Amino acid sequence: MNPLFWTFLSASIISGFILTTLGGLPIFMFREIGHTRKYDILNAYAAGIMLAASIFSLLLPGLDLGGANAVGIGFVLGMMFILVLKDRVHVFYYKIKEEKAASNEVLLKAIVIFSAITLHNFPEGMSVGIAFASGITTLGFNVALAIGIQNIPEGFAVAVPLIKSGMSKKKAFLFSALSGIVEPINGIFGFFLVLYIKSLLSYMFGFCAGAMMFVVINEMIPEAQHDEYLDKSSLALMLGFLTMFILDVSLG
């Protein structure tokens, strides 16, 4: 097996699974779960990191490899992919809701939450796989690092709505940890897809950037922007962006 594959797989498991699991641990420290200043700031910081990673670790390398047309097409397809899947998830949810009794509301919420997680983690996992498949190991580590950092608050964010819906903290933590498994699986798909079809590399960089930026702008930033913490979360977002920018420049 290609040594690059094992390097990628190790980085993907750490960033996608282990750090997501780590992020779920703080739920045991809170008596009541709700929107707090710490939660919003962490979410905004993660959004800033993801936004910077999309630009500096995906869009710009894609432009260098294949030009604006390929990256632009991939970007639009990635954005539309998440938009269509998100719409299908909502249709599926409301269809089930009409057929099930109200007593199954917790299960229905769990379906929506995990569908959203899958959509959110799909471009993240693929981004790591595609970055390593490019053969530029430092780029792969940069993307994996960005994904891993943002997965820490994401692990907490995943568990919160499950607890709010009535699930125990232990079960919510377990589901939060399991959500991170999606990323290495999608990463393997992206790795081999690009490894054997090199001409797709620029398109896939654009695709992942478009998908990730749509998730950040459509979900993560609005979730972090509450009236009482608006300025603080905005500063956290910009700090996250600056952090990833510095890391990207430093790591080359």
Output the six-digit token pair for 90: 């909502």
Query: Which residues have C-beta within 8 Å of that of residue 159, sequence separation ≥ 6?
Result: 24, 27, 169, 172, 173, 175, 176
Computed over every residue of the chain, the mean pLDDT equals: 76
Q: Looking at residues 66-83, what average pLDDT do you find? A: 89
Percent of the chain with pLDDT over 90: 6
Of residues 162, 175, 154, 147, the one with CA closest to residue 220: 154
Residue 72's pLDDT band (cuts 50, 70, 90): very high
* CA count, 13 A, side-chain hemisphere, 168: 3
pLDDT tens digit sequence for 227-244: 666 788 889 899 989 987
* C-alpha dihedral sign at 104, 20, 40, 238: negative
The token pair that represents 164 in the structure block: 């709010």
Of the candidates 9, 101, 26, 62, the one whose C-alpha atom is nearest the C-alpha of residue 202 is 62
Would you say 197 and 65 are in contact if contact means Cβ atoms under 8 Å apart?
no
Which pTM was predicted? Answer: 0.68
Distance CA 169, CA 196 (A): 43
Tens digits of residue pLDDT in 156-200: 766 766 676 677 788 888 887 877 787 788 788 778 877 777 778
Give the least confident one: 45-59, 63-77, 103-117, 218-232.
Answer: 103-117
Residue 20 has pLDDT above 70, yes or no: yes
How do the domains of the chain map onto residue ranges? 3-21+36-251
**pLDDT of res. 73:** 95
* Mean pLDDT in residue range 133-148: 80
Q: Is the pLDDT of residue 103 over 50?
A: no
Q: Do residues 191 and 11 lie in contact, with contact meaning Cβ atoms separated by under 8 Å? A: no
Among residues 230, 236, 228, 183, which one has the least CA distance to residue 12?
Answer: 183
Mean pLDDT of 206-221: 83
Structure tokens at 216: 């950040």
What pLDDT band is residue 76 in, cutting at 50, 70 and 90?
A: very high
Res 109 pLDDT > 70: no
Report d(CA 214, CA 204) in Å as an integer.
Answer: 15
- Report which listed range, 4-18, 64-78, 83-97, 178-192, is most confident: 64-78
Residues 22-58 have pLDDT tens digits of: 877 777 776 655 556 666 777 788 788 878 878 887 8
- pLDDT-derived band at 151 (thresholds 50, 70, 90) equals confident
